[in-house]
A = this chain, B = another copy of it.
Amino acid sequence: MINSMILDLNRNGSAIRAMFEEGTKMAKEFGRENVYDYSLGNPSVVPPAEIRETLLDIVAHEDENVLHGYMNNAGFEDVRASIADHLNKEFGTAFSAKNILMTVGAAGGLNVILKTLVNPGDEVITFAPFFGEYRNYVRNADGVLVIAATDPDTFLPVPEVLASVITPKTKALIVNTPNNPTGVVYSEELIVKIADVLRAKEAEYGTSIYLIADEPYRELVYDGATVPYLTKYYHNTVVGYSYSKSLSLPGERIGYLVLPDELDDADEIIPGAAAANRVLGFVNAPSLIQKVVGRCQDAKVDVEIYNRNRELLYGKLTEYGFSCIKPQGAFYLFVKAPNGDDKAFVAAAKKYHILMVAGTGFGGPGYVRLAYCVSYDMIERSLPGFKALAEEYGLR
């Protein structure tokens, strides 16, 4: 008998990935242009031109044994310094290379920091709805995921609810703003309140509660929204970042953790996280792409392309009678299933070759997630299907 968790994943695995695979199959059957796949957060916007230019320059000119070789498990020193400088300029922080740990994407980074912090049975809180993989990552570290409800009208955390779920066993709180799957962005005011709750509970229980900011969507914001840098509001903050979305490099698995000196036990956490990177089998973030992002700190994909998608899809879906919060960030719409049954809604949409993911996997039953990191053209082609779907549900 193979591992029982893996058997379970084979039966009830990632709804996102299952939809993605289904989309590939349907594209073969009906033609790619007749399938409207909103399942996977795979960036559609091309990487900034600097990525290709920098890759070509580095590959042509740098010492290959350095470029493709082992380095410290934390990453190349020059790359880490470059990232620290960029953060300091952008947010007025005071990091140096030693506060940056290069990781195999945000997924690698989250696993590394959870392994570093969590002892078996420790509790890790997150707010629903949330990226479903947090369940696996917390379990990998033998922790217990605790899900805190949010305001049902805004999907924003409620400080009193957070306070009510913190116990002496709480080791960390994972926040994700801009949020996957809802697209909401936490205001500075809300962040101050969350930090106040954490500080009060640390004092009450005499514990350290780490705030883990999962920030792959930091740069993807609209309507002038700002995303406060959380290390400035709370001493025990670790930031997990990824270039998957900001530079459209999700396949490259490149990101970093920020481990401030202000963390309780920073002198154990900083080397400990590098050791975790090694023993979990990541060893180090891929080397060539480390060098590339180190030199492309000011590059950014064209967010206006996602914004156009957002405006079109949000505008049309609400016009058709669907109900949805207008997202301020990321590239997802979290749409209410008209009669509250998200799985039935997903199944109904499939008839019109529209692929979306049920909210249940995100801890948000009754909703579906649409990833609008797709072509504008695909959205346009999918609109008659959405209209028919609205009619089927009697929304108009």
Contact = CB atoms under 8 A, between A and B. Distances in A.
A213 to B, nearest CB: 17
A3, A44, A141, A254: which has the most chain B beta carbons within 10 Å? A3
B133 A73 contact: no
Interface stretch (A88-96, A174-182, A266-274, A308-316): A266-274
Contact of A7 (B13, B17, B251, B268): B268
Contact of A289 (B133, B278, B288): B288
Given A10-B268, A279-B133, A119 B4 contact: yes
Interface in A261-284: 265, 268-269, 271-273, 275-276, 278-284
A51 interface: yes
Given A253-B104, A281-B111, A46 B69 contact: no
Nearest to A116: B6
A43 interface: yes
A203 interface: no
B140 A10 contact: no
Contact of A281 (B51, B107, B252): B107
A9 B275 contact: yes
Given A1-B119, A65-B44, A6 B281 contact: no
A253 B17 contact: no
Interface stretch (A26-34, A53-61, A331-339, A380-388): A53-61
Interface string A79-120: 000000000000000000000000011011011100111110
Given A6-B272, A9-B276, A110-B281, 10 more contacts: A2-B117, A6-B273, A10-B271, A46-B65, A55-B59, A104-B253, A104-B281, A133-B278, A140-B280, A282-B282
Closest 4 CB pairs of A and B: A251-B287, A111-B281, A136-B279, A107-B281
25 contacts: A1-B119, A2-B272, A3-B115, A3-B116, A3-B272, A6-B116, A9-B276, A13-B275, A43-B69, A51-B64, A51-B68, A56-B59, A64-B248, A65-B248, A67-B251, A69-B250, A104-B281, A104-B282, A107-B283, A108-B281, A251-B286, A252-B286, A280-B280, A286-B286, A288-B288
Interface of A: 1-4, 6-7, 9-10, 13-14, 17, 21, 40, 42-44, 46-47, 51-52, 55-56, 59-60, 64-65, 67-73, 104-105, 107-108, 110-112, 115-119, 133, 136-137, 140-141, 248-254, 265, 268-269, 271-273, 275-276, 278-289
